[in-house]
Structure 1
Amino acid sequence: MPEGLPLDHDHPLNGTMAAYAQQIVICTGQRDWRSRIEDDGKDQHWGELVRGLKNLMGRGGPYADPFNNVMVTNSSLPPTSTGPLSPGAASAFLFPSFKYFPSIPVGVTKFAKTNADLSTFVRAFLLPTQLSPMMETLPEPRHSELLRKPELASEFPDAVDIQYSPVILICGHGGRDMRCGVMAPILEEQFRRVLESKGISTPVGTGSGNFDSPDRAHIGLISHIGGHKYAGNVIVYIPKRMKYGDSPVPHPLAGKGIWYGRIEPKHVEGVVEETILGGRVLSDHFRGGIDYDGSILRL
């Protein structure tokens, strides 16, 4: 580890994951970012998406809600380069909704009522379906503005439901803290090696025909998620229809996201065997988790 940046091997990990409602994982095709991700990608659509989301949902934004914590995370996963909206759009995954959006418009226009823009995406997918009791006292017009509008999902017909392919995200934000920056590429390579040995492919691109299949996994480095001192930090998202080994039995962790800390290369085989394939949580590394309905998981 870098000098002066020790790892914490003593503090209990369970409960160190901050609660969140959803995580949007933006496909940048880039393997590291500036400390503040909104300061990066100045000439890239993915950078516009980061800044647009923070402007819309951050403090002072029209959809700001302190009880609806949507994590905006950059990833090394590559964006889809084709599609009708690609000239002004970016790609992203959304968890625990288990969706992939190849083309999210990054602009906000005054014609949003007739043309899908970024605010349409926010209202369709990122707002809560029910407000916190602390927000229920808001005036009715404001109350309605902060609730999700599921009918707007039809404005994004190219959205892909991820049903079979697990997604492994490894914090590798060296621009923020070199502990994850050093550890993540090693873990990424080890995950690819172990998964490939189990017959699960880990291609880098998102455009191949088997984008979502039982024999494919998506692996990406991601920006800061908290807890650099617990590096390596790994999130494993298990889709709802992933099976338990070769049997028709549903995967015990289907629809869940499991956060691990203190993952070293020697632990990767165990994460693959026990969690991804076996459906068992490694309690010694467990930081927290999230279920498909957004409920937070603790041991």
Structure 2
Amino acid sequence: MQPILVQSLSRTWSGRTYRNCQNIRLLSSTQRSSKLRARLEIPPPFPVTKTCPEPSCNCPPTPALPEGLPIDHEQALNGTMAAYAQQLLICTGQPDWTSRIEDDGENKGWGNLVRGLKRLLGRGGPYLDPFNNVLVTNSSIAPAASFSSATASAFLFPSFKYIPSIPVNTASSPDQATDLTTFVRAYLLPERLHDMHSSLPAAKQADMTRSPDLASNFPGVIDINHSPTVLICGHGGRDMRCGVMAPALKSEFKRVLQARGFSSAGSDGTTVDGLNHANIGLISHVGGHKYAGNVIVYIPPKMTVGTSSELHPLAGKGIWYGRIEPKHVEGLVEETILGGKVVTDHFRGGIDRSGDILRI
């Protein structure tokens, strides 16, 4: 009997489910020397295409990178995205930040939000959970017009929500019903704890689990159902590869999407969801500067293909790409945002709406 290669559709690691097509070799002791193998081909969990098509017109040149900061073209990109549960995308209205985003935004609501979340979710915080990795990311998308130093605005993916007013302080008195802790408990804690927490007291487990009923304290929350969101790492304060590449990519995404009938977010941050609207923003560090340009595309859960009623094949998913240059933007728009295919040559990883991590 010859060895068999079986491809696994999913595996679990650190409490997350990973969907992939990883080869697992099943060999008996008498078969180890055999070189005969039969492959059971299992397709990726979404439509794919290998490469970006060539652009249909002249596109901007790839910006020259700083000396000594090359792009890594050797390492395979698939699997270079770190697993995460949710990404909180904070609206700052500015295109770059200091190396440590918690040191930025002094006396501003978005800066206070970053620092408050670090106190609650970070090392030593009451809601620290190594199995619930929440990415706290700054974005250039403008906050709601009514922002102040006491509140901030943010998107939440892959929950596909926009929260226009998040209180950034913890309660100073028992009479204060809504504070940052309320937001964390309503939206950022896991719906179910990892099995490693089973030995904790029941009260502690309850404290570390999401309380969806608290979401009623945030009546202005908007579901992102129709607008794709394109995020480009532009954190020059952390690494100039992304700082140099991102502005050119943002301009090209805006140009290509507008040519296909999409409007993009205004400077006041008032439009966040709608048919033929796209959110485009620069973001802070998400890992992998050596793979610049780094792009994340979130496809909303009710997006359809073109003018048809057919649900988009990537609806509800977030797709991470690396080594993106201006010449690739048109191809990503056509293949991924409009066509529903993942470009495997640039794929770093992904996440679906349930929080499962996507691999190929």
Q: TM over 0.5, yes or no? A: yes
Aligned to 2:68: 4
The within-5 A match list for 1:147-162 is: 147-162=209-224
Highest Rg: 1 or 2?
Answer: 2
Question: Which has more strand, going by share of residues?
Answer: 2
Equivalent residues of 1:112, 1:120 under 8 A apart: no
Residue 103 (str. 1) matches residue 191 (str. 2)? no
Residue 123 (str. 1) matches residue 181 (str. 2)? no
Q: Distance in 2 between matches of 1:110 and 1:102?
A: 22
Residue 201 (str. 1) matches residue 263 (str. 2)? yes
Q: Distance in 2 between matches of 1:238 and 1:113?
A: 40
Secondary structure of 1:284 counterpart: helix
Q: Distance in 1 between matches of 2:96 and 2:174?
A: 33
Aligned to 1:222: 283
Aligned with residue 322 of structure 2, among 253, 256, 261: 261
Q: Distance in 2 between matches of 1:263 and 1:290?
A: 19
Q: Distance in 1 between matches of 2:201 and 2:172?
A: 24
Equivalent residues of 1:80, 1:91 under 8 A apart: yes
Aligned to 2:273: 212
Q: Which is worse superposed, 17-26 or 242-251?
A: 242-251
Q: Which runs of 5+ in 2 are unaligned?
A: 1-64
The within-5 A match list for 1:239-250 is: 239-250=300-311
Aligned to 1:38: 102
Aligned with residue 143 of structure 1, among 200, 205, 208: 205
Secondary structure of 2:155 counterpart: strand
Aligned with residue 63 of structure 1, among 102, 123, 127: 127
The within-5 A match list for 1:266-285 is: 266-285=327-346
Aligned to 2:90: 26
* Number of aligned residues: 296
Equivalent residues of 1:112, 1:119 under 8 A apart: no
> What is the letter of the counterpart of residue 259 of structure 1?
W
Offset of residue 89 of structure 1: 0.3
Offset of residue 134 of structure 1: 1.1
Residue 172 (str. 1) matches residue 234 (str. 2)? yes
Residue 14 (str. 1) matches residue 78 (str. 2)? yes
> What is the letter of the counterpart of residue 93 of structure 2?
G
Q: What percent identity do the matched residue pairs reach?
A: 65
Question: Please, what is the CA RMSD of the aligned residues?
Answer: 1.2
Aligned to 2:243: 181
TM-score normalised according to structure 2 size: 0.80
TM-score normalised according to structure 1 size: 0.97
Residue 293 (str. 1) matches residue 357 (str. 2)? no
> What is the letter of the counterpart of residue 159 of structure 1?
V
Secondary structure of 2:192 counterpart: coil
Post-superposition Cα deviations, 1:6-64, rounded to whole Å, max 9, x if no partner, equal: 11001000000000000000000011001000011112110000000010000110111
Offset of residue 137 of structure 1: 1.2
Equivalent residues of 1:124, 1:149 under 8 A apart: yes
Change (3 A) 1:156 1:6: same
Change (3 A) 1:206 1:217: farther
Secondary structure of 2:262 counterpart: coil
Offset of residue 170 of structure 1: 0.2
Aligned with residue 137 of structure 2, among 60, 67, 73: 73
Secondary structure of 1:275 counterpart: helix
Offset of residue 111 of structure 1: 3.4
Q: Distance in 2 between matches of 1:112 and 1:124?
A: 18
Q: Distance in 1 between matches of 2:256 and 2:302?
A: 22
Aligned to 2:118: 54
Aligned with residue 93 of structure 1, among 112, 136, 155: 155
Change (3 A) 1:149 1:267: same
Offset of residue 213 of structure 1: 1.1
Post-superposition Cα deviations, 1:63-90, rounded to whole Å, max 9, x if no partner, equal: 110110000000000000227xx46100
Question: Which has more helix, going by share of residues?
Answer: 1
Q: Distance in 2 between matches of 1:14 and 1:221?
A: 22
Dislocated runs of 4+, deviation >6 Å: none
Change (3 A) 1:112 1:257: farther
Q: Distance in 2 between matches of 1:87 and 1:184?
A: 28
Equivalent residues of 2:141, 2:269 under 8 A apart: no
Aligned to 1:234: 295
Secondary structure of 2:263 counterpart: coil
Secondary structure of 1:217 counterpart: strand
Offset of residue 110 of structure 1: 3.9
